[in-house]
Structure formats: C-alpha cells, structure tokens
C-alpha cells in the first residue's frame, strides 16, 4: 500500500493535522501495522515539497508547532490518477517461498518440510484472520477476507508444488 497516496487521499476529504491524519490512517488501514508519527511527518514534508499539499495554518502551544495541511489541485489530480490506475492483479513473478523451495532442492535439503512449515504458518494466520472476521467491523472483515483469499491461493500453490516436488527435484538437478 502506498502510504503517501493514502495520506494524500485522507487530506482530500478534509484538511487536517499530522496527528489527526495518523489516527485516521490507523483506524482504516493500520490494524496490523499502525503508522509511526515520524513516517507521517516525513511523508507530509515530501507532499508539501512536491506541491501536492500545502500548509494552511499553524498553531503554537506548549509543544512543537502544529501545522494544518490541505490538498492542492495538483494533489487532487494525483489522487484521481491513482484511483483510475488499476493495481496489477499479481506481483512480479518472484516469490520468496518459490526461491526457498528451489534452493532447498538444489541443496538437497528437505523441501517437503519447508512446504509443511509454510502451510502451518498460513493455516495459523488464517485462524487469526477468521477471529478478526468474527470480532471486527466491516472494514476489518473486508481486509481479512482479502488476506484470506490470498492465503488460500498460496495454500493451493503449496499443495500443487508439494505434489510436483519429485518432478521439480529432477528439473533442478538437470
């Protein structure tokens, strides 16, 4: 997920302070990994530098100056472009698990065990996501569904690869 475009999109809804943006981001997108304040302010500084947002006010108090940010017309154009650009349905044809499987076979290591360990890790993650689905709101349920569908695809790949390990082992050795 592109943090800078997501924060820019949140500013497209209404102007705001970095503190408020961080909390809005975490509410909608940070369930598994909240955004660090330092990342928020560094991203805001880059967005200002790039002319996508502007500082529209500042308040002084006992702590650091609080700056209020607002999206610029250029920022709105960038968000429109982002929303109109489809995400690639599949990442690059590289996978850490695939690489581990091939290396395990090259080293004559136990590739079956590797796949079993990964299957168990995926199954454990699925169990945790199903709990999120039972306890979460709609946004959490939809995110959990997205992750579950990807895990299910990974599990199908693990099963298919496990069934073809002997053939793959021969291919690697040749």
14, 20, 23, 29 alpha-carbon torsion, rounded to 10°: 30
Q: What is the pLDDT along the chain (174 residues), one digit of tens a residue?
A: 789 999 999 999 999 999 999 999 998 888 778 899 999 999 999 999 999 999 998 887 776 778 999 999 999 999 999 999 887 776 666 688 998 999 999 999 999 999 999 999 999 999 999 999 999 899 999 999 999 999 999 999 999 999 999 999 999 988
DSSP assignment of 53-70: EEEEEEE--SSSPEEEEE
| Alpha carbon distances (Å) from 120 to 95, 126, 154 | 18, 10, 12
Q: Could you give the CA distance from residue 89 to residue 119 in angstroms, rounded to a whole number?
A: 23
Report the chain's terminal Cα–Cα distance, integer Å: 40
The pLDDT value given to residue 39? 94
Residue from 130, 47, 104, 80 nearest 21 by CA:
47
The pLDDT value given to residue 91? 64
**CB-based contact 88:96 (threshold 8 Å):** no
Given this structure, which CATH class describes domain 3-84? Answer: mainly alpha
Which element (helix H / strand E) includes 16?
A: strand 16-17
Q: Could you give the CA distance from residue 42 to residue 12 in angstroms, rounded to a whole number?
A: 18
Q: Return the bridge partners of 58, or none.
A: 67
């Amino acid at each position: 997920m592109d943090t800078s475009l997501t924060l820019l999109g949140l500013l497209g809804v209404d102007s705001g302070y970095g503190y408020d943006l961080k909390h809005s981001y975490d509410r909608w997108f940070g369930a598994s990994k909240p955004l660090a304040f330092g990342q928020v302010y560094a991203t805001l500084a880059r967005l200002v530098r790039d002319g996508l947002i502007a500082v529209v006010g500042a308040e002084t108090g006992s702590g650091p100056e609080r700056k209020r940010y607002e999206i610029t017309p250029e920022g709105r154009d960038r968000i429109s472009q982002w929303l109109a650009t489809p995400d690639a349905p599949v990442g690059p044809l590289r996978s850490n698990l695939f690489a581990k499987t091939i290396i395990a076979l090259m080293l004559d290591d136990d590739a079956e065990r590797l796949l079993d360990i990964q299957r168990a890790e995926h199954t454990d993650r699925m169990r945790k996501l199903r709990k999120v689905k039972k306890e979460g709101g709609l946004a959490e349920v939809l995110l959990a569904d997205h992750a579950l569908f990807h895990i299910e695809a990974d599990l199908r790949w693990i099963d298919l690869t496990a069934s073809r390990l002997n053939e793959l082992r021969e291919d690697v050795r040749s």
